[in-house]
Amino acid sequence: MSILPSRFLTFHHQPTLAFSPFPRSSPSSIFYAPTNSVSRPLRAEQCLQPLSAASSSSSFSSVTVENSEDYSESDGTTATTQFVIRARNRIGLLGIITRVFDVLGLRVEKATVEFEGDYFVKRFFVTDSRGARIEDPESLDRIQKALLDAIDDDCAGSVTAGPTTSTTTRGVVVRRPGLGLGSGERGAKAERMFGLMDGFLKNDPISLQKDILYHVEYTVARSRFSFDDFEAYQALAHSVRDRLIERSHDTQLYFKRKDPKRVYFLSLEFLMGRSLSNSVINLGIRDQYAEALSQLGFEFEVLAEQEGDAALGNGGLARLSACQMDSMATLDYPAWGYGLRYQYGLFRQVILDGIQHEQPDFWLNFGNPWETERVHVTYPVKSYGTVEEEILNGEKCNVWNPGELVEAVAYDNPIPGYGTRNTITLRLWAGKPSDQRDMEAFNTGDYINALVSRQKAENISSVLYPDDRSYQGKELRLKQQYFFVSASIQDIIRRFKDAHSNFDEFPDKVALQLNDTHPSLAIVEVMRVLVDEEHLDWNKAWDIVCKLFSFTIHAVIAEGLEKIPVDLLGSLLPRHLQIIYDINFNFVEELKKRIGLDYDRLSRMSVVEEAAVKSIRMANLSVVCAHTVNGVSTVHSELLKTKLFKDFYELWPEKFQCKTNGVTQRRWIVVSNPSLCALLSKWLGTEAWIRNVDLLTGLREYADDADLQQEWMMVKKVNKMRLAEYIEAMSGVKVSLDAMFDVQTKRIHEYKRQLLNILGIIHRYDCIKNMDKSQQSKVVPRVCIIGGKAAPGYEVAKKIIKLCHAVAEKINNDSDVGDLLKLVFIPDYNVSLAEVVIPGADLSQHLSTAGHEASGTGSMKFLMNGCLLLATEDGSTVEIVEEIGAENLFLFGAKIHEVPELREKGPAHDVPLQCAHVLRLIRDGHFGFQDYFQSLCDSVEGDDFYLLSSDFGSYLEAQAAADKAFADPKKWTKMSILSTAGSGRFSSDRTIRDYAEKSWGIEPCRFPSEFDG
C-alpha cells in the first residue's frame, strides 16, 4: 500500500490518511476557496493514464458501503462504517466523495488506497457527527444515493443499486467500460513519476519566496544574494509561469479526455500587453506574491513595471483578440489561439522635434519568460514550385512540388481564466530554416546560401506589418499569412487525427474563427489538405469546409477589403490559386442558377476580380465559404448588409449576424484600476461582477448616493495623480488635478479626426487669449491628452502629430493661459500606458466620421472606468447610447445617412467662421511651420472628405456641454457612475458567449475543482 501525507486532503477533524501518491493537490491554488475547504483538486494525469490490457477480472467501477470491524487508533478503538470505492482514478473523484461526506455531516476517521490490478480501491472509514458507526438503513440509503448522484455519469455505463454478494454489504454499483492501463514496468514507472511530483506548487508566501529565489539562481543565473529589480522580475515571472503550466497541462489533458468541440481562433495580431499582473490576478495569488516579495525587500508594483509590452499587433483589432482569449479562458471554452511570433513588434515611436520616427521594437532582447518553445512541435511550410498531375489508385490527383520549404516552430503562451482552473494556450509560430535544405547547403560547402536560407526563413516572422507598398513587401505579407495558416491547420488536423479517423466528424469537433481576412487562406489550405493529402472527394471536402468557418470582418468600406494580385499568389502558392479558381467557378455556376445572367452582380460577387490588376478578393472568398459572417456592432452589421456585402446578404441573409465587440473587465478594471475595482466590490457587496459583469447595473440604484459619489471622486483623483506624475516625468509639463483630463488615444488616421480635436484646442486657446481675467476665472481648465502612432508611410498622419506638438509648444509656454489649458502628446502609446491613461481620464473623445468606425473598443474601456464620452454616433457608440442614455454622454456630428449628401458639396461646402479663423491662424504661421501645414488646411477647406468643417460647430457645442457638466461635480459624478453601470453589455465575455452559442456551437468544458460537484 502506498502512503500519502495528510496534507493531500483536508478534513474538519484531520483524520489519519493513507493514500496513493497519485493525487496531486494545491493548498491554495483555488483563489476563491473558503478556508475550510474539504478537498483539493486532482491532477488530470490521474484519470488519463492508459489502463492495462491485463486488467483485473472486472472492468467496472463500484461504490459499496459496509459496516467495518473496529480499528485501533493511538487514542483508542473506533467503530466505523466503511465505504469502499473501486474505480479507475479520475479527475475530482476524491474531492467529490469527501465533499459528499462533509455536506452530510459525516466524519472521515481514516482513508486508504490499495492497488487491485490496474484499479484503485479507496476505503473511507466514516462515522456520524457524534463519532458513532452509521447503522440506520434509511441513513445508509440516503448516503448511497448521494454518492451515486455525486459520481460523474459521463461514462457510457449502467448504474445498478442493491446488495452485493457479501452478506454484510449494502451498496450501489456504478458500471463503466474498462479503459485499459499499461501494466508491469510501465505502471511502475508511472507510479514512480507521480510519486516524485505528488503535489501542485504551493502558494503560501514562504513557498513563493523559495520558488522566486530558485529561479534567480538557476534560471536567471544570478546569486540569490545579489540581484536587481529586472532579475527579480524575471524570476518572479518564471515562478508564475510554473503555476500556469501546471494548469495548462491539466486543462489540455482534460480537454483530451472529454474530447469536446474546440474553437481555433486565427488572428495575425494579438496585442497582449504585459502578462504578470493579469496572470497573478487570474490565478488568485496576487496578494500572496506581494507579501512574499515584500519580505524579500521588493515591491510587486515596481517589478511589474520591469515587464515590456508584447506588442504583436496594432490598435483595436489586435487588443480585441487578446480580450477574447481572456474571455474564452474565463468562460471555460475549449479554445486555442493561433498567431505569429514576430521578432519585432509594432515599431517604437520616438518623437524628435515633433516628428515621428520609427525604431525597431526589440521586445525579445531579454527573452520572453511567459512562452515555452515547443521544439518538437514543428511543421514544414511550402511555397513556390510547381503543381503536377499524377495518377494515384487509378485517379488523377494534383501534387505540389515546392520550391522552398521552411519550418514553423511553436511557442506556447498560457492564458489563464479568472475564477477557474482552466488555462488555454495561445500558440505563436516562428520561422526556421528547413533542416534538410540547411544540411544540403553545408554539406556542399555553400555556407553563404545556407545563411541566406536561414535569414529568409526567419524573415517570415520577423516584422509585424511589413511595408507592402513594394512587391517585396506584398510578397512577405502573403508569406506571413500562409506560413501562419499552414502551420495552424497542420496542427489542428494533427490534433483531430490523434483521436479520430473519419473526417465526417471534423465539423463536429472543430470550429475555425477567422479574425478579419488575414487568415482567409485557411479556407484554401483546408481544401488542399483534404483533397490532395487526405484524398477526399472535392464535393465532400467542400461540404466539410463550409461547416468549419466563422468569419468576422472589421472593414467598413470596400477600399479596405484585402485583395491579392493573381500573379503574386500564383507564384508563391500555385496550388492554392488553382483551388481558388475551382471554388470560384463552382460558386459562379451555382450563382447563375440563382440570379440568372446578371453579369454586373456576378462580377461584383466573384472571388476573382477582373480588373487592371487581376486579384483575388479575400473577403468574398470568406463570405462564400463561411457559415456565419459577423459584424462587430449594430451599425457595422447594417453597413455589411446594405453596402459592403449587399449582394451576398440578399443571397444568404441567414449567414449574417451581429457580434458587438467587447473588452475584458479583468484587464481594464481589475488590473488597470484596482481602486475602482475595490470600490465596485464594496458597493455591489460581491466580487462576482468580475466574472458576471452584468452585476454592474446594480450601481444604478446608488448613483445619487452622496457617500458613493465622494468615494468615486476620490478614486478618480488618485488615478489622475498617477497620470499627472507620468505626464510630468515624460514631458516635464506639470498639470493641475482640478482640470478636466480630456483624452483622445487612437491610431492616428484622418477618419479618426485627431485634426478636429487639435482645431478645437486651438479655438479654445484663442478664446482664452481674448478673455479678460474675470472671464478666464469662469473657464473650465483642461488638460488635453493625445496619443497614438501613425503608419510609417502615412505622411498626413505624421503632419497631424507635428501640428499637435507645435500647438502644444505654443500653449504650454504661454503664461497668459497657465493651467487653464495644457496639451500633451504621449509617445509610443501602448497597452501598459493605456492602463495608466484610461483610469485617469475624465472625458474621452471618439471623433470618427460617421460610418467609418466598425466598432471602437477604446470607448468601451473608458466607459468601464467611468469616463464620459464625447463622440459621433458611429460604431458601438449607438449601442452605448441605448445602454446608458444620450443624457449621459456628449454627442455631435453628422449622422451616417447625412454623410453622402454633405460630401457631394465638395469644395463648394461652407466653412464655418470659427473653423476658418482657426485654419487662418495655422496658415499664418501662428504655430510655426506654416508651409508644412498648408496641405492639412487645404484638406479641410477643400473637399473636406472627413467632414471636419461640417462638424466643427456641432463639435464646439458638445465641448461646451461637457464644460457645463464638469462644473457641476455632483452631476458629472452621477454620469460617471452610470457610465460604468452600463458598461457590462460591452464585455468580451458577452461577445464570446454569443460566438459560442450562435457561430461556433461549442460548450464550456470546465476543469473540475474541489468546488465543482
Residues paired with residue 775 on neighbouring β-strands, in sequence order = none
Task: Say whether 974 is catalytic.
Answer: no
Return the closest-CA partner of residue 820 out of 969, 976, 963, 965.
963
Catalytic residue from among 64, 78, 423, 857: 857
Q: 29: which residues sit within 8 A by CB, 6+ positions away?
A: 40, 41, 200, 201, 203, 243, 421
Give Cα 991 distance to the centre of its chain: 12
- Catalytic annotation on 747? yes
Q: What is the DSSP string of 871-907?
A: E-S-TTHHHHHHHH-GGGSEE-S--GGGHHHHHHTGG
Q: Ramachandran region of residue 467, left (φ > 0), alpha (ψ -120 to 50) or beta?
A: beta
Q: What is the CA radius of gyration of the chain?
A: 32
The C-alpha cell 468601451 sits at: 860
- Which of 348, 518, 691, 747 is flagged as catalytic? 747
Residue 734: active-site member? no
For this structure, is 99 an active site residue?
A: no
Can 857 be counted among the known catalytic residues?
Answer: yes
Nearest by Cα to 671 from 418, 852, 440: 418
Of these residues, 861, 974, 985, 1006, which one is catalytic?
861
- Is there a catalytic annotation at residue 500? no
β-strand pairing of 821-826 with 782-787 = parallel
Q: Grid coordinates representing 2?
A: 502506498
Cα–Cα distance measured from residue 692 to residue 493, given in angstroms and rounded to the nearest whole number: 35
d(CA 888, CA 867): 10
Helix ranges restricted to H, 333-470: 435-443, 447-459
In this structure, which amino acid lies at residue 842?
D
For residue 348, what are the contacts with CB-CB under 8 A and spacing of at least 6? 358, 359, 360, 361, 828
At 129, which helix (H) or strand (E)? none
Three cell numbers written together for 461? 516572422
Of residues 851, 843, 902, the one with CA closest to residue 872: 851
Element (H, E) at 100: helix 93-103
Among 177, 193, 186, 170, CA closest to 20: 193
Exactly one of 720, 746, 764, 805 is catalytic; which is it? 746
DSSP for 685-751, please give it: T-SGGGT-GGGGGGGGGGTT-HHHHHHHHHHHHHHHHHHHHHHHHHH-----TTSEEEEEES---GG
DSSP-derived secondary structure for 549-570: EEEE----SGGGS-EEEHHHHH
Report the 3 state secondary structure along 236-253. HHHHHHHHHHHHHHHHHH
Phi, psi of 168 (to 5 degrees): -100, 5
Roughly how many angstroms between the first and final C-alpha of the chain, as a whole number?
Answer: 28
Residues whose CB is less than 8 angstroms from the CB of residue 61 and which lie 6 or more positions away in sequence, other chains included: 85, 86, 87, 88, 119, 174, 175, 176
Contact between 44 and 249 under an 8 Å Cβ cutoff? The reply is yes
Going by C-beta distance under 8 Å and a sequence separation of 6 or more, which residues neighbour residue 210? Answer: none
Evaluate whether 397 touches 403 at the Cβ level (below 8 Å). Answer: no
Instruction: Return d(Cα 323, Cα 333) in angstroms, integer.
Output: 14
Q: Which of 122, 319, 477, 752 is catalytic?
A: 752
Going by C-alpha positions, the residue among 768, 766, 783, 755 that lies closest to residue 935 is 755
- Residue ranges with strand state E in 301-440: 310-312, 335-340, 348-352, 355-359, 372-383, 386-392, 395-401, 404-416, 423-433
Which of 215, 495, 554, 666 is an active site residue?
554
User: What count of Cα atoms within 13 Å lies in the side-chain half-sphere of residue 531?
Assistant: 25
CA distance 891 to 872: 6
Closest CA to 437 of 382, 399, 485: 382
Q: Active-site positions?
A: 554, 746-747, 752, 857, 861
